[in-house]
Chain A
Amino acid sequence: MALVLSEDAQLVRDQALDFFREKSPILALRKLRDSADPTGFSRELWREMADLGWTGFLVSEDAGGSGFGMVGLGQVLEAAGRTLAASPLISTALIGASALDIAGTPAQKSAYLTSLLSGDTITALASEEGSHHNPAAVAATARPSADGWVLDGRKTFVLDGHVATLLIVSARTAAGITLFLVPAATQGVTITRRLMADSRNAALVTLANVHLPAGALLGTDGGGTALLDRLLDRARVGLAAEMLGSACEAFDRTVQYLKDRKQFGVPIGSFQALKHRAAVLFAEIEVTRSAVLAALTALDEGAADAAALASLAKAKANATLNLASSEGVQMHGGIGMTDEHEIGFFLKRSRVAEITFGSTGFHRDRYAALNGY
């Protein structure tokens, strides 16, 4: 595994950086927030992203995608993280596309994949039930019915839930945790948008006596834990890539501010107390970049240590974005506390992203478990 971007990945990276810088600067997120936009992202831009092929990076070629892989999608997500762009990249292009590509039956693929690739179908993973990431804590139930399944349960933190047309729901059957494809319009499904500090989409989903056909089962009955693990590892690493982009941007803006802002007649960046903290942050960002690239690569190669690297990358991205966003606000001083300045958006995004798909503590513990301690 060489930790170098291929020329193709480099091209995607450059293209994505230009795309988000031009079409989705932080101002776009601010407008979505201030106008209380009911969708929470721009459908027009999402269709453009689909046209660029990003929805198909994790879909194999015979299913209509490009199979370009996680390293490629990671470049797009990192670029999106730079401008804090709101989009269904993770909920749909990453998790939804992976779920259908890995575990979908031919019927499920033909029902959903084409419209996912075109940007019409938005998917959302409904697995969390508490306030802390714990994919194993599933109280939602699925019991067999005459012609399929009946689901009941409550899901607390469903990204893009209120705009999704298709939910991927974890529920417990007699055989164990199992995943189901649940069209959002199914009777008994109630979806309530939750407004989060980062102005990004999340929802509360309740399932009450939801009747599904037999064909709604994704993967195998009782096979949800392993499948969810695979999907979540991709999601963790993809989100870590996005967070790396956000950390880089918060850091670049802060270093620029240290050069521009004068106090005592000199740029504040000439003070050693701030120089050292900036240099420490630089080092943390560099090691995080290596961890993210290694994890993306390991997932594409199906490496044996991909799960451990996923936890490593998410733990590192959590800690680094936490530091970059906190230091960003502190070093900007009073102006950093204002809503008018954009540095605060990074702080708010950081904390939501940190708890998504596992906090730092969760991934340290998982890393330890995967390494035998």
Chain B
Amino acid sequence: MSLAAFRTETRAWLQDNCPPLMRTPAPADETVWGGRNPTWKHPEQKLWMDRMAARGWTLPTFPKQYGGGGLSLEQAEILGEEMRALGCRAPLQGMGQTMLAPVLLEYGTEAQKQEHLPQIIRGEIRWCQGYSEPGAGSDLAGLQSRAVLQGDHFLVNGHKIWTSNAHYADKIFCLVRTDPTAKKHEGISFLLIDMAQPGVRARPIRLISGASVFCETFIENVQVPRENLLGELNKGWTIAKRLLEHERKSIGGIGDRAGGLANTPAWELAKLHAGEQDGRIADPALRQDIAAYAIDAAAFQLTRKRAADEAQAGRPPGPMSAMFKYYGTELNKRRYEMVLAAEGVQGVGWEGDDFSADELRWTREWLRSKANTIEGGTSEVQLNIIAKRVLGLPD
């Protein structure tokens, strides 16, 4: 099928199948995560997820044999464009899709792919990420959670932290130390652990935004079947790093997501709260700041497009992908700072009828955004990576 025909057909299908409510921006609390015990605010959410999943379009470029959409990169791009044009919400989100699925496809055994990929694509299992530990943040490879191979299973004991939404997750992909005598990068393995068993406990942590999306996860004397080892024993660090690349890509693209502020740019809020003069933001300093941010944001989007266009043209990947996580997350923080600056007093309300629901939500999103440059590797770690791998600066 030609790309033009694919576009026509996709547009028609989306128009027929995307429920009207799913064409409105999704508030943060209406993200669809799937899982064994999903929560639905509207029946349309489930309808939309199921319809998209049936076509494999919750992971559009994944092979059809695992339930994926089997689309080419060009087709997936078109699907994305058509979804944006119609304002479609993401039918399903989560770490299963964005992080685990790509490494499962790359490193998984046939049996592992057959078991896990269809569950992720259909939204049946919600995954969380067991990476950081209280003593292993930026120095992730210093992790101490232990797994000891005992015949057909591993015995796992450990303590993970910043496990996003672990209290809602069904399974956790987990970095564990399997050889404490090896160098720190060479004794780590990558395990898939079902959380619905005694010995696994997630405790939510209250954050500066008042929300508790992160948890501490305790794993005590848990038996994990040997076939849940992804990749080779003690070779987990390679997979861990590859997964981080996927994580950085998804965090770096944070500004692309529909919903939230996407439809309320800071300049509109500035006109509303700081006043308007001749159709422009009355405060010229605020106007300059917002324009400076908007210019950087637009240039960043163009850079993502340039990388995609170069890939599509078959050019070797340029060095710019190394900066997406750093630049994208710094921009997202700036975006919320601009929103606050534009709103004035209305931007720093905490509760009560003096503030609109949006204003209260943005205050919290502003606080949440501060984690963007910490999670998935801090900005400083990203800069280290660029300095070493791209610029070749010495250790």
Contacts and interface: CB of A to CB of B under 8 A. Distances in A.
Interface of A: 2-4, 255, 258-259, 266-267, 269-270, 272, 274-276, 278-280, 282-283, 286-291, 293-294, 311-312, 315-316, 361, 364-365, 367-369, 371-373
A373 B386 contact: no
Contacts of A272: 384
B139 interface: no
Contacts of A287: 296, 299-300, 302-303, 327
Contacts of B390: 279, 282
B271 A373 contact: yes
Nearest to B313: A4
Interface in B288-340: 288, 290-292, 294-296, 298-300, 302-303, 305-306, 309-310, 312-313, 315, 318-320, 323, 326-327
Contacts of B267: 368, 371-373
30 contacts: A4-B313, A255-B393, A269-B393, A274-B393, A275-B387, A275-B391, A276-B383, A279-B382, A279-B383, A279-B387, A279-B390, A282-B323, A283-B386, A286-B323, A287-B302, A287-B303, A288-B299, A290-B299, A290-B320, A291-B298, A316-B295, A316-B296, A364-B295, A365-B291, A367-B294, A368-B267, A368-B280, A368-B288, A373-B267, A373-B280
Contacts of A315: 292, 295
Contacts of B309: 2-4
A368 to B, nearest CB: 4
Interface of A is mostly: helix
Contacts of A258: 393
B306 A293 contact: yes
B299 A291 contact: yes
Contact of A365 (B268, B288, B393): B288
B288 A364 contact: yes
B288 A290 contact: no
B395 interface: yes
A373 B290 contact: yes
A273 to B, nearest CB: 11
Nearest to B388: A275
A259 B392 CA distance: 9
Given A2-B313, A3-B306, A290-B305, A373 B287 contact: yes
Q: Enumerate the 7 nearest inter-chain pairs by beta-carbon distance, A residue then B residue, closest first.
A: A275-B387, A279-B386, A373-B267, A290-B302, A3-B306, A364-B291, A279-B383
Contacts of A282: 319, 323, 386, 390-391
B294 A371 contact: yes
B281 A373 contact: yes
B232 interface: no
Nearest to B315: A4
Given A259-B393, A269-B393, A288-B299, A275 B384 contact: yes
Nearest to B393: A269
A278 B384 contact: no
Contact of B291 (A288, A291, A294, A367): A367
A255 B391 contact: yes
B351 interface: no
B317 to A, nearest CB: 13
B380 interface: yes
Contacts of B280: 368-369, 373
Contacts of A361: 288
A283 B123 CA distance: 36
Interface string B205-226: 0000000000000000000000
B387 to A, nearest CB: 4
Contacts of A280: 383
B151 interface: no
Contacts of B268: 373
A108 B306 CA distance: 40
Given A279-B384, A311-B295, A368-B267, 11 more contacts: A3-B310, A267-B393, A275-B383, A276-B383, A276-B387, A282-B319, A290-B305, A315-B295, A369-B280, A371-B267, A373-B280
A364 B284 CA distance: 11
B287 A365 contact: yes
Interface string B255-283: 00000000000011011000000011100
